[in-house]
Structure 1
Amino acid sequence: MAMTYTATAAPPSLRAQARKASVAAALASSLEWYDFFIYGTAAALVFNKTFFDTGDPVVSAVNSFATFAVAFAARPFGGVIAGHFGDKVGRKPVLITAIVLMAVATFLIGFTPDTQLIWLAPTFLIILRVTQGLSLGAQWGGAMLLATEYAPENRRGFYGSFAQIGVPIGVLTGNLVFLVLNGTVGEPAFLAWAWRIPFWISIVMLGVGLYIHRYLEETPAFRAAETSLASAAKSTSPVLEVVRNNFATILQAAGTFIVVNAIFYATIISSLQYANVVLKIATPQVLLPILVGAGVQVVLMPVAALASDIFGRLRVYAIGVVAIGLWSVPMWLIFSQATPQNTVPIWVAVVVASALISICYGPQAALFAEMFPPHVRYSGASLGYQIATVVGGLTPIVMVALIDGELGNAWRFAAYVVLLALVALVSVGLIHRGHNNTHGATSKGIAPTSRSTAETW
């Protein structure tokens, strides 16, 4: 069954609640992504030299990134579980649960024991990393819906972007902490113990969960769906219902996101390993452009999202996909020209890529929300997003394997990104065609707003 809703002027109290919800979504997502990303940075800089050192830099990197990637296998399961309860019980309690779970798991990673028992540390890391993946799989849908379902109808893209900017803020804060520690205590102390500090900091997330619990109500869209749905519909599983009725939409959503996710992790994670091992460039020289790129995203994501409110989601998103595909080849050719004495190519490659990612990621929350009916929206949007992240999570391993420590092999990974961009562009086209065929909000679940999704294509 498809749900529809009509535009009404938001009262001042709801607009104030929308602003409060967007701030809460930004805080929650920023801290969740901080926790998730610091593991990736540690996998690139620390774990390959401590827990997974084999004497072969490529093998050590693959082993270290494998523990980074297991979280991405867990994220769809987190999305399924959270989607079920988020559509049944409410957005807020599921989001709070995800925040607490992430805070505890990340805090405990900081206590991974130094031990001669080779199996213990990797096992401990994998268990906690899987917990992080389950948490993040649950969190994204809750934060995204908290922002978009409170938003005024003609500004869903802009308000939804506040859940999205948590990603670059997480990158910015996580890398900044690593950069400061590395520069303050020196590499020997950093590898020995100081790397644990960023993980211990994550315990502050519990305060955000308490804030959401005390000061935010359930979203209006969930309350409306809860009162309007028949008891028979409510008794079914939202996950099973969205898979049965909107399976093609889930795959299309996932298809649009895979290239964005892949190039993102290549930019913030794989580039560190590539620069360190292949180009022999020190970590701070790479972290700085990544930090600046994250700052660019914080500014550009709301701008791109606002543009999608005006010109249409799919039009803006498609421009971003095409731009990423076109940039992927020169990006890695330019990056490969960097030397310890000249890191300008890294700055150009990373900052431009970060800007192009913003074009897609800014409006994505509203795009995914508008593709599914409210009563299965948490389930559908989470599944589409998290399925795509499995590909993104494998990106560091794919890049290491394709380049194989050889400077001249960077074009292989560039070709891989171009292929993913083609998949994304086809998916955008299918969403557009499906919208036209169903004339708005039907089985596709696209909300009938005047300037949303494909209506201004």
Structure 2
Amino acid sequence: MEPGHRTQGSVLMVSSAVGPSGNSAGTAQVDLHAKSTHRKLLAAGLIGSSIEWYDFFLYGTAAALVFPHVFFPNTTALMGTLLSFSTFWAGFVARPLGGVIAGHFGDRHGRKPVVVACVSAMGLATFLIGCLPGTATIGAVAPILLVVLRFAQGIACGGQWGGIALLLTESSSPKRRGFAGTFGQMGVPLGVILGNVAFLMATAVMSNSAFLSWGWRIPFFCSALLFPVVLYIQTRVEDTPEFRQLQREAAGNGQPKVLQAPLTEAIRHQWLTILLGCGLLAATNCVFYISIAGVLSYATAELGMNRSELLAVSLLSSLISTGFILWAGAMSDRIGRRPMILIGAVALIVWAFPYFWLVNTASLLLFFVAVAVGGVFQSMTYGPLAAYLGELFEPRVRFSGASLAYQLAAITISGATPLIMTALIARTGSTTLVSVFIALMGLITFGCAWALRETNPAEVRKDPQALPGVRLPG
């Protein structure tokens, strides 16, 4: 939040909200309704984010286990994996574009309509991937269409994160924004869990040949579950109190509270904050994508480990991470955003080499320890980020600034990480340089968090009206 900018309400209002009463009983009734409304918003944010990330990460699991056989069958195993991960990266290349487009419309027209549009687009693109014929059926057109649909997934994903994060945090009390933001952040590991469960169930009930032939499509068809969430948000949820206040101020005095070019303003006045915000995600994104995609391919192809067992380990590790994301966000409300991120970054630097020492034993138990502990440390940096990135920007450019920072990390780090990991191991025959890469990402996160200001200092935690932040000229 910015100096002098008071929150316009502690909860998101829905169309059925009751008006305030003049007596204590009426006030209590309004408070109960507000709390119920806010709980429903948190639930909708968690469910929508989980299914959205399920769609996005489902592709990563398929890229490691299925797509080399279906879309790149006439290549070597290594080349098929590299090509498959290259299409995986296409989604991350598209995410900054999605963030730019969504930020522009989200700062001008509201958070809610952007969330509805992005979630709908993600569900449709994922469903169509499940319908896509393989290379054996339609030839080279198949991988081309795969890249197009993956790109569409990336645009939708690039827009939805900022929209859901701001719906949750801008509608919460200043003292609870870290906690509220985690209901969007927890969608990431929960999406991984849903994707792994879908693949585990598919592989458990059919032969490997049937799975590679048609069974892998079933998890993609499940993306249709997003549409009830879209309907709920569209019909029951209004935009955030802060954005509606900007609209009222613009209508009341003609001031440019809702900007015509919010992205331009954000880049002009806070370009350094955007770059540093991008760096905050370096360590958490690196370890996360190694754990859910790169290491799965490495462990099955190079270490000979069982695919289903690895998916089960990934599922359990993601479940642990979910709880630590919630804890980290809540702790950032109590001790500040930066301390949690700094501690997590240091822990990931220290864990970079033990991570692969344990993985390379090919022991399922030690593999679990490596991935689970890494997940705990990266969750410490990821949990507070929904609140922190939003608070670094003024409300009228918040969607644009926060989305651009978050999605720049997608194209520079997230999508490239499995590809970089596979290439480094193929070139050196060792995982040592991958550990060096993780440690380097940890140093970047630590340095960026150190350079940025604290948005939830002690004076704010004691008095939520004393909100620090940045004001743009004009």
| TM-score in terms of structure 2 length | 0.89
1:68-99 Cα shifts (integer Å, max 9, x gaps): 00110100000000000001101001100001
Shift of 1:285: 1.6
2:421 partner letter: M
Identify the range of structure 1 (130-139 vs 109-118) with the bigger mean alpha-carbon deviation: 109-118
The counterpart of 1:396, out of the listed 418, 429, 438, is: 418
The reply to whether residue 282 of structure 1 matches residue 320 of structure 2 is no
- Aligned match of 1:164: 185
- Contact 2:359/2:370 (8 A) holds in 1: yes
State the distance in 1 between where 2:468 and 2:255 align: 30
> Closer, same or farther in 2 for the Cα pair 1:163/1:331, shift >3 Å?
same
Name the SS of the counterpart of 1:218 in structure 2. Answer: coil
Report the equivalent of 1:265: 289
After superposition, where does 1:13-28 map in structure 2 within 5 Å? 13-28=33-48
Q: How many pairs were matched up?
A: 442
Q: Please, which of 337, 340, 355 is the counterpart of residue 376 of structure 2?
A: 355
Provide the residue aligned with 1:6 in structure 2.
6
Tell me how far apart the structure 2 counterparts of residues 233 and 241 of structure 1 sit (CA, whole Å): 12
Distance 2:211 2:187 in 1: 26
Q: Quick check: 1:110 aligned with 2:134? A: no
- Identify if the C-alpha distance between structure 1 residues 82 and 75 changes in structure 2 by more than 3 Å, giving closer, same or farther: same
Shift of 1:50: 2.1
Q: 2:96, 2:404 within 8 Å by CA — same for their partners in 1?
A: yes
CA distance in 2, matches of 1:386, 1:66: 18
For the Cα contact (< 8 Å) 2:5–2:467, is it kept in 1? no
The aligned counterpart of 1:183 is 204
Corresponding position of 2:156: 135
Aligned-residue offset at 1:393? 0.7
Check conservation: 2:106, 2:163, Cα contact below 8 A: yes
1:290 is paired with a residue of what secondary structure? helix
Letter paired with 2:190: I
- 2:404 is matched with which residue? 383
Alignment partner of 1:146 is 2:167: yes
- Give me the whole-angstrom Cα distance separating, in 2, the residues matched to 1:393 and 1:96: 25
2:92 maps to which of 66, 72, 79: 72
Identify which range, 211-220 or 221-230, moves more after superposition: 221-230
CA distance in 1 between partners of 2:153 and 2:241 (Å): 29
Q: Distance in 2 between matches of 1:450 and 1:386?
A: 30
Measure how far apart 1:262 and its partner are. 1.2
The percentage of counterpart residues that share the same residue type is 38
1:21-420 aligned within 5 A: 21-114=41-134, 115-229=136-250, 230-338=254-362, 342-390=363-411, 391-404=413-426, 409-420=430-441
Secondary structure of the residue that 1:432 maps to in structure 2? coil
Which secondary structure state, in structure 1, belongs to the residue aligned with residue 72 of structure 2? coil
Q: What's the CA shift string for 1:338-388, capped at 9, x where partnerless?
A: 1xxx31221111111111121111111011111011111111110000001
Summarize the Cα distance change of 1:112–1:33 in structure 2 as closer, same or farther, 3 Å threshold.
same
* 1:255–1:388 CA contact under 8 A, matched in 2: yes
Tell me the amino acid that sits aligned with residue 45 of structure 1: L
Which amino acid is 2:276 matched to? Q
For the Cα contact (< 8 Å) 2:107–2:259, is it kept in 1?
no
Q: Structure 1 residues 372, 168: closer, same or farther in 2, change over 3 A?
A: same
Residue pair 2:175, 2:464 contacting (<8 A) in 1 also: no
Aligned-residue offset at 1:264: 0.3
1:424 deviates by: 1.1
* Helix, strand or coil at the partner of 1:234: coil
User: Quick check: 2:284–2:379 contact (8 Å CA) kept in 1?
Assistant: no
CA distance in 2, matches of 1:60, 1:138: 30
Shift of 1:18: 2.4
Cα deviation, 1:1-47, whole Å, max 9, x if unaligned, reads: 96642368847244333222211111111011000011110000001
Pair 1:106–1:77, CA change in 2 (3 A): same
C-alpha displacement at 1:300, in angstroms? 1.4
> Aligned AA for 1:256?
L
Identify unmatched segments of 5+ residues in structure 1: 442-446
1:409 Cα offset (Å) = 0.9
Distance 1:452 1:317, change over 3 A: farther
Q: CA offsets per residue over residues 393-428 of structure 1, 9 Å max, x none? A: 11010000001176x511110101111111111111
State whether residues 3 and 373 of structure 1, in contact with CA within 8 Å, keep that contact through their aligned partners in structure 2: no
C-alpha RMSD of the superposition: 2.4
Distance 1:450 1:345, change over 3 A: farther
Shift of 1:268: 0.6
Other-structure match for 2:14:
none
Aligned-partner Cα distance in 1 for 2:459–2:146: 46
Q: 1:310·1:451 contact (CA, 8 Å) conserved in 2? A: no
- Give the letter aligned to residue 370 of structure 2: A
Aligned counterparts of 1:370 and 1:315: Cα–Cα separation in 2: 16
What amino acid is the match of 1:251?
Answer: L
Please identify the structure whose Cα radius of gyration is greater. 2
CA drift of 1:297 comes to 1.4
Assess if the C-alpha contact under 8 Å between 1:372 and 1:381 holds in 2.
yes
Q: Which blocks of at least 5 consecutive residues in structure 2 are unaligned?
A: 11-29, 470-474
Tell me how far apart the structure 2 counterparts of residues 254 and 431 of structure 1 sit (CA, whole Å).
12
d(CA) in 2 for partners of 1:405 and 1:354? Answer: 27
Does structure 1 conserve the Cα–Cα contact (< 8 Å) formed by 2:247 and 2:257?
A: no
